[in-house]
Structure 1
Amino acid sequence: MTAYPMLVAVHVLVGAVALVTFWTAGLLRKGTPAHRATGRVYLVAMTGIVLTGAPMAVVRWLDGHVVTAAFLGYLVAITTTGVWVSWRAARDKAAPQRFAGPVYVVLAVVSLMSGAGVLALGIKVGAPLLMGFSSVGLVVGTDMLRRRRRYVRGDVTPRWWMVEHYTAMIGNGIATHIAFLGIGLPRLLPGVDGTVLHYLAWFGPLFVAIVAKLVLDRRWKPRPVRVPAPARGA
């Protein structure tokens, strides 16, 4: 077995670990030792995905598969951002200014620029998949830079870190499931591949993630406080 197939095999292996531990951590009670331990294994597996995915993108680029290489690089960028944010949010929950430091800014800019690059590439080659999925990097990068202003001022709620953590973990889940449904499953079961399934595999996890984000925000995200209007004549 040559180096590249071995790299792919390791990538698939750590991806399988990530898929299992994502759901295990998600179903366990939040904050328990089991949840934290499983979450750490998941983040280590996701780190393995990043470390194996980056050279895979380089190899595809050298082979002349520019579109595939660009998209793999994009997935590496947004996955790196999700892994770092989900980890540091829990570590820096008492220090939002430290959380929003230089690494946070670099990752936000990389997410934003890579999303813009994939959008431009999708328009150039006429690929709706690239155009649609570019929204992840664009939204993530823009939202991170917007929130950073609050973190630097210390204008945060007590559970700000939890919102950051589960939002990043949802993003990680998108990458995990897209890799499995859109890339791994068709190779394991070629008979299930097809145009409709192809787009469902890519945009299905994105839709589920949006719903999960709305549900979790409803439970954990602080609601704005209404200030009663002054009485007339006061």
Structure 2
Amino acid sequence: MSPTAALLAAYPALAVAHAGVGTVALAAFWTAAFARKGSTLHRRVGQVYLLAMAGIVASGGALAVGKWLEGRVVAAAFLGYLLVITAAAVWSAWRAVRDRADVVRYTGPVFVTLGVASFLAGAGVLALGLAKGVPLLVGFSAVGLVVGADMVRKRLRRETLAARPLWWRTEHYTAMLGNAVATHIAFLSIGLPKLLPAVSGSALYYAAWFGPLVLALVAKAWLDRKYRPAPRRGPQPLAARA
């Protein structure tokens, strides 16, 4: 049996494994979200979540190749794009904590490579969506373009990033929100319709893709406000102190 035939034969099993790892990721995400931040439970479950996300990226790569071999070029390209931006979020969420004392290491070669790849993948999906007339590809390409450009900007302005108080915490929860978008899109667009076949339609389709993204942006704004460092108060004039 040729490698191509073997991959196509194993495709159903890969899809089941992909869905199983995604279920673990979804459960681990919410467990870590409700656990006390910095606690042992939060760290351990967070590690499980990132490992599960790494498994999703690995199995998703095989699924993308399988779609390509089946002749589903648009689906394969879009899945590959999603895997690239998900890999960038997984890496950033992990390394932001590991490299919190060294912004240079955090914004190293892998960080830059994933940023450039995200931007180029976003540009490719945008061009593909315009050529094929697929609104989903056109709209979702903005994620890769924005994320990729932001990662490259952070590499070029390391000093600005390092000057932010607790910069690594912001990088960590921002990346985790990106991972959450990927996890919940997969559940809402693939898992939920299979569990509840009656729940379908174009409205649900676009809500499943853009709803988690909008909620993540709202959560990002709320967290930025919550963890905004208090303004530093300089020494008051003598008359004011009197």
Q: Where on the TM-score scale, by shorter chain, does this alignment land: which range? A: over 0.9
Count residues with an aligned counterpart.
227
Percent of pairs with identical residues:
58
Q: Does 1:3 align with 2:25?
A: no
How far 1:189 moved relative to its partner? Answer: 2.1
Matched to 1:33, the amino acid is T
- The 1:116/1:223 distance shift into structure 2, 3 A limit, reads farther
Name the TM-score, length of structure 1 as normaliser. Answer: 0.92
2:25 match: 18
Matching of residues 96-111 of structure 1 within 5 Å: 96-111=103-118
2:164 match: 157
Matching of residues 141-180 of structure 1 within 5 Å: 141-151=148-158, 155-180=162-187
How far 1:194 moved relative to its partner? Answer: 0.5
SS of structure 2 residue aligned to 1:190: coil
How far 1:191 moved relative to its partner? Answer: 1.4
Farther-moved stretch of structure 1 (36-45 vs 188-197):
188-197
How far 1:149 moved relative to its partner? Answer: 2.3
Q: Distance in 1 between matches of 2:45 and 2:160?
A: 33
How far 1:156 moved relative to its partner? Answer: 2.3
How far 1:224 moved relative to its partner? Answer: 8.0
1:79-112 per-position Cα deviation (integer Å, ceiling 9, x unaligned): 1101000000000000000111111100000010
Query: Is contact 1:97-1:152 (8 Å) kept?
Result: no
SS of structure 2 residue aligned to 1:192: coil
2:38 match: 31
SS of structure 1 residue aligned to 2:157: helix
Structure 1 or 2, whichever has the larger Rg, is 2
How far 1:165 moved relative to its partner? Answer: 0.3
User: 77, 80, 89: which is aligned to 1:82?
Assistant: 89
Query: Is contact 2:161-2:167 (8 Å) kept?
Result: no
2:62 match: 55
Q: Distance in 1 between matches of 2:26 and 2:127?
A: 31
- The 1:222/1:125 distance shift into structure 2, 3 A limit, reads farther
Q: Distance in 1 between matches of 2:130 and 2:176?
A: 29
1:97-153 per-position Cα deviation (integer Å, ceiling 9, x unaligned): 011111110000001010111111111111111111111111100111112223267
Q: Distance in 1 between matches of 2:160 and 2:167?
A: 13
1:198 match: 205
- The 1:75/1:50 distance shift into structure 2, 3 A limit, reads same
2:4 match: none
1:131 match: 138
Please identify runs of 4+ aligned residues in structure 1 that moved more than 6 A. Answer: 223-227
1:195-232 per-position Cα deviation (integer Å, ceiling 9, x unaligned): 101010001001100000000011124478899xxxxx
Query: Is contact 1:97-1:154 (8 Å) kept?
Result: no
- The 1:56/1:89 distance shift into structure 2, 3 A limit, reads same
Q: Does 1:68 align with 2:75?
A: yes
Name the TM-score, length of structure 2 as normaliser. Answer: 0.89
User: 201, 212, 215: which is aligned to 1:208?
Assistant: 215
1:20-48 per-position Cα deviation (integer Å, ceiling 9, x unaligned): 11111111111111000000000010011
Matched to 1:136, the amino acid is V
Farther-moved stretch of structure 1 (39-48 vs 212-221):
212-221
1:35-81 per-position Cα deviation (integer Å, ceiling 9, x unaligned): 00000000010011001000100110111101100111011101110
- The 1:190/1:215 distance shift into structure 2, 3 A limit, reads same
Unpaired segments of 5 or more residues in structure 2? 1-7, 235-242
